[in-house]
Amino acid sequence: MLPRPPTRITLALLKPDLSANNLKVDKVFAHIQKNEFNILAHKKLLWSKADAEAFYGEHRGKFFFERLCGYMTSGHFHALILEKPNAITDWRALIGPTHPPRARINAPDTLRSLYGMTDTRNSFHGSDADETAKSEIRFFFPEFDIAQWEANQAENRV
């Protein structure tokens, strides 16, 4: 049997504005399947202000920080671990530019173009690098054994 190509993992969020609409959530999940991501874990969460401030701590002090934390605590949202070769770049390509109005002009087929509302309410998140993905996965899924996942990857390669 041929070895499977190595895969990567990323943390994806379907933010509260999108998660409030089950029809949209179903469409996004269909899109995720169609683009051949493997969903390794999935949970629906409701954040406290402290949770939002902890996750978005790097943005503390920026003009949009309070708005961002208010938005992320406004309702339930979905967190997913997605797996695929190039999961990080593929998921970020699928969701598109951070700002939906720009996405509608420059990347009209992306999820933020289709579903995002404003610069803050942009409906999705995706990790931007391997190390960030791991730390974000630990934040949302402390029970997910990254070391074990990496060991399984290495085994599949021999």
Ligand X SMILES: Nc1ncnc2c1ncn2[C@@H]1O[C@H](COP(=O)(O)OP(=O)(O)OP(=O)(O)O)[C@@H](O)[C@H]1O
The residue within the footprint of ligand X, chosen from 51, 119, 146, 153 (CB under 6 A), is: 119
- CA dihedral (29, 34, 35, 41) positive or negative: positive
Task: Name which position in 122, 136, 137, 141 contacts ligand X (CB under 6 A).
Answer: 122
Tokens 């992306």 sit on residue? 110
Distance between CA 41 and CA 21 in Å, rounded? 21
Question: 125 an active-site residue?
Answer: yes
Q: How many residues does the chain have?
A: 158
* Residue choice 74, 89, 120, 132 for contact with ligand X (CB under 6 A): 120
Q: Which residue is nearest to ligand X (CB)?
A: 98
Q: Is 78 in the site for ligand X (CB under 6 A)?
A: no
Q: What's the closest the beta carbon of residue 27 comes to ligand X, in angstroms?
A: 19
Give the distance, in angstroms, between the CA of residue 137 and the centroid of all CA atoms in the same chain.
10
Identify which of residues 7 and 11 has a Cβ nearer to ligand X in the complex.
11
Q: What are the residue numbers of the active site?
A: 125
